Amino acid sequence: MRTKLQFQWNSLILFLFAFSLAVVDAPHASAQAKITADKDVEFDAFAAYTYIGNAYDTSDTNNGATFGGDYTHFIKRYHGLIIPSFQMRGTLATGSAASEKTLEGGLKLATTWRRLHPYGDFMLGGGVINFPPPANPILAGPNPLKRDSSFLYIYGGGITYDVKRDWSAMVDYQHQYWDLGKGGRTTPLRFYPQAFSFGVVYHIPFKPYKHR
């Protein structure tokens, strides 16, 4: 219960922080929110706090950080209604039952409504899970498992909100599929973490390209 309350409190603080920045900078940001007709590509970098529920089982939660970047190609005839990107990201999160590291990449599709940019994504990647001593009872045996890995299938979505010319606030959700295989067990060990991230996006203002 304490972890959930802490998560809700952190979420509220981040939301109020992003909202206050938007209000203070509203006159400037409104002029920068539209995608210009001569904009071709954009490179973004982002960082976020990440909370993972069902990290290893239904009661486990992890906390950590996510870092990544996007390459966006604007299709002019869609006028910002469909914005495709290729995204790479990595996450490191720790908890009482296990720690997880993931690296993934895939397709992201976004759209634009004023300063809001909702999106959905589908990614593939790899994950490594480490079990701190003593070994988890589920995996205990003659040689308790301390580390394992999985190929990941991930889908999710989120929204970014333009705060300044080159900065946006981000709220992101991911649903991950882990399959650790049998590893000496009679059945595979599968679990499905849900990750919630709150962070900032920096739109890199390369001079050859026009930006927000």
Q: pLDDT digit string (tens) for 38-89?
A: 568 899 999 999 999 987 776 788 999 999 999 998 887 767 788 999 999 9
User: In a 10 Å sphere around its CB, with 0-12 CB exposed, 13-18 middle and 19+ buried, how is residue 178 labelled?
Assistant: buried
Structure confidence by residue, pLDDT tens digits, 13-24: 555 554 454 444
The reported pLDDT for the residue numbered 141 is 54
Domain boundary assignment for the chain: 2-204
The reported pLDDT for the residue numbered 101 is 95
What ranges in the chain are assigned the alpha helix state H? Answer: 2-24, 26-32
Q: Please, which residues have CB within 8 angstroms of residue 164's CB and are 6 or more apart in sequence?
A: 21, 25, 28, 29, 32
Q: What is the pTM of this model?
A: 0.75
Mean of the per-residue pLDDT values for the chain?
A: 79
- In the chain, the percentage of residues whose pLDDT exceeds 90 is 46
Q: Which amino acid is at 38?
A: D
Average pLDDT over residues 185-207: 86
The reported pLDDT for the residue numbered 93 is 95
With respect to CATH, is domain 2-204 assigned 2.40.160.20?
Answer: yes
The reported pLDDT for the residue numbered 75 is 81
The candidate with the shortest Cα–Cα distance to 63, out of 201, 193, 209, 203, is 193
Average pLDDT over residues 166-184: 89
